[in-house]
């Protein structure tokens, strides 16, 4: 694509005479410039923006609400950014990424993308849930290297996908793909918990709600906040 042409700078035929100022006016001008420079050092971020910037510097990321393509791109950007910053740093010396999860789920495609991203992150990712991680949120939570949850936080895993593919000839293809997708989702659980394929087979057709303390017995949650550790210790 051709670059836009830059308009040429107009020639100035006459040099304007400098405006004479008094000493007081000059002093005021200097003060105004200094105040502008000092205020631009933090660039006047709003209160919420400042909190977000502080969180990013501490590597706190959030999934709150529906999991969408926008959420995926946000998480992808920062996880890859932090990994790039850590190139050459030993894993145990890297500052962990803390992923705070509070979601009822959303897009299976974008959720799986986040799961794969976390699985391939060399920089450790800590999952923190103090409310709920449902549906795809559950799979993202379980994909973190270490998971923390409060005792009454609850999780939900169930069959992925639900949709209307219209024409009957497409239904069989949809069902086949749905079964293959659920096999992959189950592998995420098996890899990150004490559950077996047999365990999952027994619950595959139900909405499987689990409290965090119950999930710990299954190897899904590593630590219960308030019992095994304090919130301060992980933040």
In a domain? residue 84: yes
CA-closest candidate to residue 202, choices 214, 217, 186: 186
In a domain? residue 32: no
In a domain? residue 79: yes
CA-closest candidate to residue 105, choices 58, 57, 64: 64
pLDDT of residue 208: 85
Taking the C-alpha atoms of residue 137 and residue 103, their distance in angstroms, rounded to an integer, is: 6
In a domain? residue 10: no
Tens-digit pLDDT profile for residues 121-158: 999 999 999 999 999 999 999 999 999 999 999 999 87
Query: Do 231 and 225 meet the contact criterion of CB atoms below 8 Å apart?
Result: yes
Number of folded domains that form the chain: 1
In a domain? residue 28: no
CATH number at residue 191: 3.90.226.10
* Global pTM value: 0.69
In a domain? residue 149: yes
In a domain? residue 12: no
In a domain? residue 17: no
Query: Do 106 and 136 meet the contact criterion of CB atoms below 8 Å apart?
Result: yes
Q: Assess whether pLDDT exceeds 70 at residue 192.
A: yes
Enclosing domain of residue 118: 53-234
Tens-digit pLDDT profile for residues 22-64: 443 443 333 343 333 333 333 344 545 545 655 888 999 999 9
């Amino acid at each position: 694509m051709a670059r836009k042409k830059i308009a040429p700078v107009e020639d100035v035929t006459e040099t304007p005479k400098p405006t004479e100022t008094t000493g007081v006016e000059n002093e005021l001008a200097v003060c105004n410039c200094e105040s502008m420079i000092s205020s631009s050092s933090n660039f006047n971020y709003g209160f919420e923006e400042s909190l977000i910037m502080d969180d990013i510097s501490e590597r706190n990321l959030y999934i709150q609400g529906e999991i969408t393509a926008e959420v995926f791109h946000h998480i992808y950007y920062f996880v890859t950014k932090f990994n790039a910053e850590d190139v050459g740093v030993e894993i145990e010396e890297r500052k962990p990424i803390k992923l705070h999860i509070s979601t009822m789920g959303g897009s299976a495609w974008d959720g799986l993308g986040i799961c794969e991203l976390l699985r391939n992150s060399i920089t450790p990712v800590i999952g923190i849930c103090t409310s709920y991680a449902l549906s795809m949120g559950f799979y993202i939570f379980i994909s973190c290297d270490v998971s923390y949850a409060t005792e009454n936080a609850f999780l939900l895993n169930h069959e992925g996908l639900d949709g209307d593919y219209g024409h009957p000839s497409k239904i069989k293809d949809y069902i086949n793909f749905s079964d293959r997708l659920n096999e992959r989702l189950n592998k995420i659980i098996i890899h990150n918990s004490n559950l077996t394929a047999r365990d999952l087979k027994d619950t595959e057709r139900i909405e499987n709600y689990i409290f965090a303390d119950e999930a710990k017995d299954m190897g899904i949650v590593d630590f219960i906040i308030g019992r095994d550790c304090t919130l301060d210790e992980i933040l």
